[in-house]
Amino acid sequence: MSNSLPNAADPLIPVILSGGSGTRLWPVSRHDYPKQFLPLMDAEHSLLQQTLLRLEGLKNVSDPIMVCNEAHRFLVAEQLRQLDVAHGGIVLEPVGRNTAPAIALAAFQALEAHDDALLLIMPADHVIKNVPVFHQALEKGRAMAAHGRLVTFGIAPTSPHTGYGYIRAGQPVEEGFTIDAFVEKPDGETAQSYLSQGGYYWNSGMFMFSAQTCLAALEQHAPEVLNAVKSAWQTRQGDLDFTRVDQAAFEQSPDISIDYAVMEHTKQGVVLPLESPWSDIGAWDAVFEARTDERDDHGNVSIGDVLLHDTTDSFVMSQSRLVATLGLANIVAIETEDAILLADRSRMQDLKHVVARLESEGRTESRAHCRVHRPWGWYRTMVREPGFQVKEIMVTPGAALSLQMHHHRAEHWVVVQGTAKVTRADRDDPEMTSLRSMLVTEDESIYLPLGTVHRLENPGRIPLKLIEVQTGHYLDEDDIVRFEDRYNRSVDG
């Protein structure tokens, strides 16, 4: 491993960590479509997209490296496409192992393109209100990291927050301070003492260091992490825009954060203060606080079709229907198509227990929305009863579902917007020699009997929408035999 260091003029490579599940933002955030992909702070951009846009205006910045899990790979790619942002690699974590292994993957990826890679580690779900101040802190951090420092950014606390970890600053060094200690989330009295004493910062989870320095620190302080990730990286494979690493090797890494693995042990660590309003948007009370400027005269934040009467200091969101409140205070009310949350605003840290109960009871509401996103578009289940279900399907222009067949269901498609290109073979043609394509336009329909090989495409310039009626005794998404797929998938979708 080289011991060379970058200098402050070398390109800065952002690394966006996008592996969280966001259980404390249920029912909007779910396992299959978590908070970082949601527009929680405005109607236009997701938290991940805002993280990327926050880099605009910085000089000498390379394309970002994205680190995410297998299930979210197409969501990441699509959100980059929407911004027209190129990437320096989308690296897939085969299993979740916390931030230390994820950052090690990014370091190996960065060194593929730059011998002197300088990394900016950013979680995908943060809000930073003062972007110019953020940029100034990054420039200070760039100079320090180029000299071998492991820089973490500490947020100047504005309240005795009990939902964040803290960093106790030590002696002044260059633009920051040495790190005396990382402190776990405190109780209220302890958090107030931190605020009164001064010298404590919220732990932002953002870092800056060279890839070489990071890997050397892992080698010294957490060799089991480095060895597992290095072994997984050595047998990496490309898959479309994604980089896959060996799962068996990666699973050998401890599940550990970069804070515990390196930052608590290294003598090279520095905390650099960041004087900006900041939040990690960990729960609904954090969303409420981050949207303070939207509060009405009674201290409420409301989003969507909401009617508030005699209601104070509450956060109310509606996604699909009218939500009215009367005589309430300090509540969170979140409405989605298939679930409603009503809660005391001070209990948001306990929402994870509700999600855990949903999961233990096998409830699908913990994992997926009614609208399920796929690389070709999305589908929404409208009705499901024994023996049949009805879906709305949207296929983006130029996209296509796989060439597939079902053992247990027949399908009837009715096009309601756009033009569908349907490829199908005769039901009794296992060799698919009879494959042929036809166009199905608005107000037209086509029936696909059980066992028919078929594919749906959108050859047009507008989204294709159709209503699908499925009939059969087994209607789950794993009843797919896939023959061809441009997205290299092997299971449902």
The yes-or-no verdict on residue 60 having pLDDT over 60 is: yes
Phi, then psi, of 373 in degrees rounded to 5:
-90, 140
Q: Which of 359, 384, 408 is the last residue of a domain?
A: 359
Domain total in the chain:
3
Is there a single domain that holds both residue 204 and residue 290? Answer: no
Residue 208 lies in a domain: yes
CB 179 within 8 A of CB 152: yes
Residue 5 has a pLDDT of 58
Is there a single domain that holds both residue 137 and residue 194? Answer: yes
Residue 474 lies in a domain: yes
Residue 221 lies in a domain: yes
Question: What are the tens digits of pLDDT across the range 300-317?
Answer: 999 999 999 999 999 999
Is there a single domain that holds both residue 269 and residue 218? Answer: yes
The arithmetic mean of pLDDT across residues 170-180, rounded, is: 94
Is there a single domain that holds both residue 42 and residue 145? Answer: yes
The arithmetic mean of pLDDT across residues 210-216, rounded, is: 96
The arithmetic mean of pLDDT across residues 181-206, rounded, is: 94
The arithmetic mean of pLDDT across residues 160-177, rounded, is: 93
The arithmetic mean of pLDDT across residues 172-181, rounded, is: 94
CATH of the domain at 123: 3.90.550.10
Residue 101 lies in a domain: yes
Is there a single domain that holds both residue 275 and residue 161? Answer: yes
Integer Cα distance of 60 and 48 in angstroms: 21
Integer Cα distance of 153 and 218 in angstroms: 19
Q: Give the domain range for residue 344.
A: 284-359
Integer Cα distance of 33 and 40 in angstroms: 13
Is there a single domain that holds both residue 33 and residue 177? Answer: yes
Q: Which residues contact 3 (CB under 8 A, 6 or more apart)?
A: 212, 216
Is there a single domain that holds both residue 424 and residue 355? Answer: no
Is there a single domain that holds both residue 418 and residue 296? Answer: no
Residue 45 lies in a domain: yes
Residues in the chain, overall count: 493
Residue 389 has a pLDDT of 96
Q: Is 377 exposed, middle or buried (0-12, 13-18, 19+ CB in 10 A)?
A: buried
Is there a single domain that holds both residue 312 and residue 402? Answer: no
Between β-strands 65-69 and 90-93, what pairing exists: parallel, antiparallel or unpaired?
parallel
Q: Residue 459 to residues 78, 250, 455, 488: CA-CA distances in angstroms?
A: 19, 40, 12, 20
The arithmetic mean of pLDDT across residues 417-438, rounded, is: 90
Structure tokens at 67: 């680190």
Between β-strands 127-128 and 278-279, what pairing exists: parallel, antiparallel or unpaired?
antiparallel
Structure tokens at 344: 């005391």
Question: What are the tens digits of pLDDT across the range 237-261?
Answer: 999 999 999 999 999 999 999 999 9
Is there a single domain that holds both residue 132 and residue 222? Answer: yes
Residue 69 lies in a domain: yes
Is there a single domain that holds both residue 336 and residue 452? Answer: no
Is there a single domain that holds both residue 350 and residue 382? Answer: no
Q: Which of 337, 359, 381 is the last residue of a domain?
A: 359
Residue 492 has a pLDDT of 45
Starting at the edge strand that comes first in sequence, how are the strands of the sheet with 403-405 ordered? Answer: 436-440, 420-424, 454-457, 403-405, 481-484
The arithmetic mean of pLDDT across residues 394-407, rounded, is: 96
